[in-house]
Amino acid sequence: MNWELMWDSVPTLLRGVPVTLQLVGLALLFGAGVAFAVALLRLYGNRVTERLMAAYVFVFRGTPLLVQIFLIYYGMGQFELVRSSVLWIYLREPFWCAILALTLNTGAYTSEILRGAILSVPQGQIEAARACGMSRTLLFRRIVMPVAIRQMLPAYGNEVILMVKASSLASTITLLEITGIARKIIAQSFAVFEVFIVAGSIYLLLNFVASRLIRYAEWRMTPYLRARG
Amino acid sequence: MLELLSFGPNGWGGQLLGGAAMTVAVSVSAFLLGLVFGSLGASAKLSRSLALTGVAEVYTTVVRGVPELLVIYLLFFGGSGAVMAVGRVFGYEGYIELNAFSIGVLAVGLISGAYSTEVIRGAVQAVPHGQIEAARACGMSRWLILRRILVPQTLRYALPGLGNVWQLTLKDTALISVTALAEIMRVSHVAAGSTRQPFLFYTTAAVLYLLLTTVSTVAFERAERYANRGVRRA
Amino acid sequence: MKKIVAALALGAIVAVAGTAAEAKDWKKIRIATEGAYAPWNATDPSGKLVGFEPDLAMELCKKMKAECEIVAQDWDGMIPAIQQGKYDAIMAAMSITDEREKVIAFAGPYGTEPSMFGTMKTSPLAKATFPGERYDLSKDDPKAAIAALADALKGKTVGVQTSTIQANFMEKLLPQVAVRTYDKLDNAGIDMAAGRVDAIFGDRSAVDAILKADAGNGMTLFGPAFARGVLGKGVGVGLRKADGDLKELFNKAIAEANQDGTITKLSTQHFGYDISIK
């Protein structure tokens, strides 16, 4: 074990953290939007949208992310139609291809988490709200969503961690995030162990912070549980 | 273009099919190995020994917190060394070389096991304590309680979670393509590069994975129905 | 106590390193290649490793009276994996360079190829003119050609394979040009066809193979060819430093294959010309 090399690789690898955070942050943001739309279309849409959304979720949950990334990056670029479209401004860049793949992936998983959470809102609460004379949108905004979001937080926390890990696959399409930089250092130093152990520790730290943040959000959202304790 | 997928001398069909078989072989072996790790991990976590709980906690936290790709790389380049170290503990001094298949199974099994640990632990805890007390009151021995009450019930509670772990495991095997083992992903990656038809081959790979996940979803649903056959439905 | 444990652990590691490096009789040799760098090495639809190097490896093994197995290994793990003992030799169009010689040993070289750029015929790069045709970086002064390249590649992106002499060349001689590194040169070729990179840079024959496979897409070579200097001393067999005896065996076999024309024959068969070193 070459400790000096390990120590020297720390600042270089840390330079990949912003890219990793951007990938994860943007994918989670867009993914939440996708998940919200998909969950609503599945629960309240007509049969066609329901089927379509179910198919999307099925495909993206049933295939490895690596296949999705390669298909979006290398596969789409093959078509003149895609290359001459406006979308190419974004799809030309590996960064946006990675964002797209991660977004669609997390969108599919999160929509299932959200759907389950919405379905788990107790019927009694909805009835009570209706009895108070709430409109459908008000009921959804004030009762269903807050309860559902609180309900889904633990599962969503796992999804966030999965995304942090998944972002490492962006290195396979030339992006220089933490893993990409790690591979670059290894290409010059050939020290696989040292570099990947440092890189792994950085991911571990990121995930630790992420899980703490989610737990804090959970704590903030459940004041009624605290009062009892 | 479709002749590239044929089974003829210029088609990659045979390789892709072999790749699918390899993916299944690695997934099944890794999942079973993961169940072993998972059972060990869960018993360690439920034990009263602080050291055991600590080791299991470190195992699940690290393996679930580090990207799968890194775990696989680390094992690929250090797996043999680790196995030799274990071998030395048992007095074997020779050089042990792990092939790509065993490395893949070990790596994915290790990841799968970390997730199984949590599932199994939750399932064990879900078995109502009253049933164990009742069994004890009937005079059952510890072993009999384990065999007749705990394991069957745990299995029933764990099945949905294990189904998820299986899907994760199946998809994680795509990452062992870096060890050059000819599974679906590796074959499609090589074929896409050499024929310059990435869309065709990655779509084929996606379809193959979808096929595998669909079949296994159905299988797990059946298993769940079978395991719940004695449970009254509301 | 801790010190004793540390000493024991160290002893164990040394012992393992010892057993791994123990003299073998080299009746069986495992040789790694990439399988994605035609015509040097490639993978055919049946999954078999083919090309100049797998063929040459078999010929060399005949001369060494050894039984050989060719295994696939991704390029970026090629050197770490030989150090881990996953195989005994590398024949993967790997040039002998000072950086690599710090960590592994080389037998040979058994061939040499200059590096060249490739681009789309529609690109302005294809029409640009550059001074000189071929530069031996160990003796020629490439300043004029490099300046012209730097000028032509301004604002453009060049795709190279990670951890290669060409990646090193770009870093050392054309640091101002944007470079994107790929796991395989094939993928850089796919991305050039898609328009994500403007040029690719690799061994002439490998770039040429990509252009030929994509004939319909209209690609072409451009600029002068470069060799030696930062681009290394030719392609050799990568070996662990501890295996001096294997290096001798390979060197002898390569010399024989050079003399009896085996390398020339295989080279003409796969490249269409002779890449052997006379």
Residues C138 and C131: their CA atoms lie apart, in Å, by 18
Are A73 and A4 contacting, i.e. CB atoms less than 8 angstroms apart? no
Instruction: For chain B, list the domains and their CATH numbers.
Output: 15-227 (1.10.3720.10)
Q: Is the dihedral of CA C241, C245, C246, C251 positive or negative?
A: positive
- Alpha-carbon C187 to chain mean position: 16
For chain B, what is the mean pLDDT? 90
- Interface contact flag, B70 A199, Cβ < 8 Å: yes
Contacts of B81 in chain C (CB under 8 A): 16, 84
Helices B13-46 and B50-65: crossing angle in degrees, nearest 10, is: 150
The sheet that has C219-227: what strands, in order across it? C134-136, C219-227, C115-120, C199-203, C157-161, C178-182
Write down the CATH number for the domain with range C115-231.
Answer: 3.40.190.10
What are the structure tokens assigned to C42, written together?
């490639």
Ranges of each domain in chain A: 3-228
From chain B, the residues in CB contact with C74 under 8 A are 178, 180
Angstrom distance (rounded) from CA A109 to CA B57:
26
pLDDT of C10 strictly over 60: no
- CA–CA distance, A13 with C172 (Å, rounded to integer): 22
* Residue of B15, B85, B193 with shortest CB distance to C45: B15
> Does the beta carbon of B213 lie under 8 angstroms from any beta carbon of chain A?
yes
Other chains touching A, judged by 3 or more CB pairs under 8 Å: B, C
Q: pLDDT tens, A173-210?
A: 999 999 999 998 988 888 888 899 999 999 999 999 99
Residue (of C274, C270, C273, C276) closest to C41 by Cα position: C270
- Residue contact B95–C20, C-beta within 8 A: yes
Work out the pLDDT band at A118, boundaries 50, 70, 90. Answer: very high
Helices (H), B96-150: 100-126, 129-137, 142-145
DSSP bridge partners of C43: C49
pLDDT, one tens digit per residue, over C76-114 is: 889 999 988 889 999 999 999 999 999 999 998 999 999
Q: Which chain C positions have a beta carbon within 8 Å of B190's beta carbon?
A: 35-36, 43
C-alpha–C-alpha distance, residues C270 and C218, integer Å:
22
ipTM of predicted complex: 0.90
Residues 53-72 of A with CB under 8 A from B: 58-59, 61-68, 70-71
pLDDT band at B229 (very low <50, low <70, confident <90, very high): confident
C119, pLDDT greater than 50: yes
- Summarize pLDDT for B178-227 with one digit per residue, the tens: 888 999 999 999 999 888 889 999 999 999 999 999 999 999 999 999 88
Asked whether the beta carbons of residue C163 and residue A187 sit closer than 8 angstroms, the reply is yes
Nearest chain A residue to C74 by CA: give it: A187
Q: Using the predicted structure, report yes or no on whether residue C15 has a pLDDT greater than 60.
A: no
CATH of domain C25-112+234-271: 3.40.190.10
Show me where the domains of chain C are located.
25-112+234-271, 115-231
Output the CA–CA distances (angstroms, integers) from residue B114 to A158, B38, B161, C150, in the order listed: 14, 6, 13, 51
Say if C10 is an interface residue toward chain B (CB within 8 Å). no
Beta bridge partners of C70: C31
* pLDDT for C21 beyond 90: no
pLDDT score of B200: 94
Instruction: Return the pLDDT at C19.
Output: 44
DSSP three-state, residue B208: helix
The CATH fold of domain A3-228: MetI-like fold (1.10.3720)
- What's the pLDDT tens digit per position in B122-170? 999 999 989 989 999 999 999 999 898 888 889 889 999 999 999 999 9
Mean per-residue pLDDT, A80-96: 90
Are C136 and C228 in contact by the 8 Å Cβ rule? The answer is yes
Does the structure show a pLDDT above 70 at C18?
Answer: no
Option in A83, A172, A186 nearest C195 (CB): A83
The residues that bridge with C160 in the sheet, in sequence order, are C181
State whether residue C77 sits within 8 Å of chain A by CB: yes
| Residue to substitute from A59, A66, A181, interface B, most B β-carbons within 10 A | A66
Residue-wise DSSP of A50-115: HHHHHHHHHHHHHS-HHHHHHIIIIIGGG-HHHHTSTTHHHHTSHHHHHHHHHHHHHHHHHHHHHH
- Of B179, B184, B201, B202, which to mutate for an interface test with C (greatest number of C Cβ within 10 Å)? B179
Q: Does A161 touch chain B (CB under 8 A)?
A: yes
Tell me, yes or no, if C19 comes closer than 8 A to chain B by beta carbon. yes
Chain C neighbours, 3+ Cβ pairs < 8 A: A, B
Please give the share of chain C, as a percent, with pLDDT higher than 90: 76
Residue C215 has pLDDT above 60, yes or no: no
